[in-house]
Amino acid sequence: MKKLFITVMLVLSLSVCGCSNDNKLSELPKPEVTGGIRGEQFGIDKNINEETIDEYLGRSDSVYRDMRMLKDPGNYEAIGGDSYLSGFVKGFEAVPYPLLVNVTGLPEEVGESYTGKTLYTLTDDGKYIANYEESLEILEYYFPKDKNIFIMCGGGGYAGQTKTMLVELGWDEDKIYNVGGYWYYKGNNNVEVKKTNEDGSISYDFWKVTYHDIDFNNLHEVQ
């Protein structure tokens, strides 16, 4: 009788808190590029973006990726941004786009970004060539094809280029959402990394960031 009572109370508790395994995830709107320059230049999503991403966090059928480096060599301050990863939306893990493929198309004011080793090389005719035998395996690990993939960065550019790359390499474009740029996020799940110290200096708590670096020295180059 005691076991029956505990079981009934547990079921009731799960129902009240909304934790029941029977709860179904809400259906996601199909990716749709927004209008204006944000859509034309970056491909930011119309429905799921910096203003609405809070409604879609914590889903078990999804992964969340921030495409910035901890410190990008590009001068993003010149366009009102931050070259450092100054903060992120809770739940997002950093997988730096400049380590995935050579960066192209940056604004002139930003200058040059990272120019080191990359998993892929983007050719002038738009082809993605794997530089390592493990390149595709690494992409599939960080961007699982059986999940919805929410991507953001600082302003939306790296995120848009990441989606373009993944789709070109065989990912389903209807499962990838470019949710825009952290610099424009005003939601309730902000994790601040940039910190102003008592003496007025600036520092960055990078220990807060789940950051996925790539050790190219342990990969096998494609011959």
Angle at 84 between CA 101 and CA 119, to 5 degrees: 15
- Please state the pTM of the whole predicted model: 0.87
pLDDT of residue 59: 98
Question: Per-residue b/e over 82-108, b at no fewer than 16 CB within 10 Å?
Answer: bbbbbbbbebbebbbbbbbbbbeebee
pLDDT of residue 119: 98
Q: How far apart are CA 75 and CA 113, in angstroms?
A: 8
Cβ contact 187:58 at 8 Å: no
User: Which DSSP string corresponds to 93-133?
Assistant: EE--HHHHB------TTT-----S--SEEE-TTS-EEESBT
Cα 204 to Cα 25, 37, 73: the distances in Å are: 36, 31, 16
Query: Has domain 25-218 been given CATH number 3.40.50.150?
Result: no
pLDDT of residue 17: 38
- Measured from the Cβ of residue 68, the count of other Cβ atoms closer than 10 Å reads 30
Q: What is the mean pLDDT of each run of 10 residues along the chain (223 residues)?
A: 42 38 75 93 95 98 98 94 96 98 93 96 96 98 98 96 98 98 97 96 97 98 95
In this structure, the strands spanning 120-122 and 128-130 are antiparallel
Q: Where are the domains of the chain?
A: 25-218
- Tell me the β-bridge partners of 190: 89
Q: How many helices (H) and strands (E) does the chain have?
A: 5, 10
